Copies of this chain bind each other. A is one copy, B any other.
Amino acid sequence: MRAEIISIGTELLLGEIVDTNTPFLANQLSLLGIDLYFTSAVGDNAQRLSGVLRQAWQRSELLITTGGLGPTQDDITRDAIAGLVGEKIEVNEELKQHIINFFARRGIEMPQSNIRQATLIPSATAIPNPQGTAPGWWVEKDGRIIIAMPGPPGEMQFMWQNEVFSRLQQRTGATFLSRMIKTFGLTEAKVDELLAHLMPSSNPTLATYAKLDGIYLRIAAKAARPEEAQEMISRREADVMAILGDVIWGVDDETQEGIVGRLLVAKGLSLAVAESFTGGFLTHTLANAPESESYFKGGLIATSDEVKVALGLDPQLVTGKASAEVATAMAILARRKLGASIGIGIEGESRAESVSGMVPGTVFIAIDSEQIKLHTVQSYSGRLYQMRRRAAYYALFDLMKLLRSI
């Protein structure tokens, strides 16, 4: 079944709101294994909406619309669908009573305009909307399905989850499963090159995504039974692991900070951070991990040598130049001062090369504990906030590898 999502509303074309309905529905369709080839947005204009619907009707079997079911003159989705299938709109007494009751519960008489929301065409059945006054429409005609839902995300999602999803699931036989594999340290082009022979496969499929915390790989498989799909994914995952090895750090919704936290808890260790270059991004990332209070002690963020010395760094060491030695001293300082078993220090250079004698974006990362002594030098480019994020994720990746090895 080929599906198409159409978002309706002029506000979408003014950039005043971000359409979160489309990604929600796209994700849900992928869970159902329904192919989604197109999404579009169109304003509250009868002619243009009709054009978009007509085209979708020609190229897709399932049309999902959001928006345009309100009570005002601007809400033209019902009329456009009626026009598309050549049917006449009529008031439905049961729906009318439902809307009258909805207002009565709030002590209000139904505004006359809301009668528009109590209408159907012969091919449509109403989809209940306990969250609002606009019922959805489920239209079946000529081997095609149109599902029209309201635009407010709360109403739409409730309707989808309670009514639409299960009905669609009954229509699709197959099972679809997917797995996200997360890597760090290779460019997207490099990952693509290494896996080039696996990329053309259409089942399971393999796709790459560039994120700030690395390159992600998504394996998706379609099969008659869940076990089969799972088996296809496991086999492809093994292929990928054999090639990429230890650049893989996690899967699905795992985060680097979450894995680091889990490893620290499992080993009874705790962590503290001292940052200069990254300006608190690493501390903030670690503090935001759920339950992190149990292993993350905190951070010391210094923006100048003066402050580094005030926090306890040896003035002899702090000479205005970023170095592995300073990063290491910061790691030790964080660990001792905040009473953690492991310290991370991040130091770097963002000034021009003519000032510092170093390529801007050069970052020194040190990890220090009783057992571990590690430091690395990396070089990043891009905007400062991107370099900061990459450096922080690099430190997490380093720590993760270390924790897995001990």
Residues of A within 8 A of B (CB): 10-20, 22-30, 36-43, 45, 48, 52, 55, 70-74, 102, 105-108, 111-114, 131-132, 152, 154, 187-190, 192-193, 196, 199, 207-210, 218, 279-281, 283-284, 287-288, 292-293, 296-304, 306-307, 310-311, 337-339, 359, 379-386, 388
Contact of A30 among B15, B28, B52, B114 (CB under 8 A): B15
State how many angstroms separate the Cβ of A30 from the closest Cβ of chain B: 5
A71 to B15, Cβ gap below 8 A? no
Closest partner residue, chain B, to A199 (CB atom):
B73
Q: Which residue of B lies closest to A336 (CB)?
A: B310
Q: How far is the CA of A36 from the CA of B188 in the complex (A)?
A: 33
| Known contacts A14-B27, A15-B28, A23-B15; is-contact A107 B379 (Cβ 8 Å) | yes
**Do the beta carbons of B299 and A301 come within 8 Å of each other?**
yes
Bound complex: CA A2 to CA B19 (Å): 21
Given contacts A15-B27, A26-B13, contact A40 B40 (CB under 8 A): yes
In contact, B301 and A113 (Cβ under 8 angstroms): no
Report how far A192 CA is from B44 CA in the complex, Å: 15
Known: A26-B13, A287-B301, A301-B280. A192 touches B105 (CB 8 A): no
Measured between alpha carbons, how far is A292 from B300 in the docked complex, in Å? 17
Indicate which residue in B152, B189, B218 contacts A72 across the interface (CB closer than 8 Å).
Answer: B189
Contacts of A113 in B (CB 8 A): 189, 192-193
Which of B16, B132, B301, B379 is within 8 Å of A27, CB to CB?
B16
Cβ A300 vs Cβ B297 within 8 A = no
Contacts of A108 in B (CB 8 A): 187
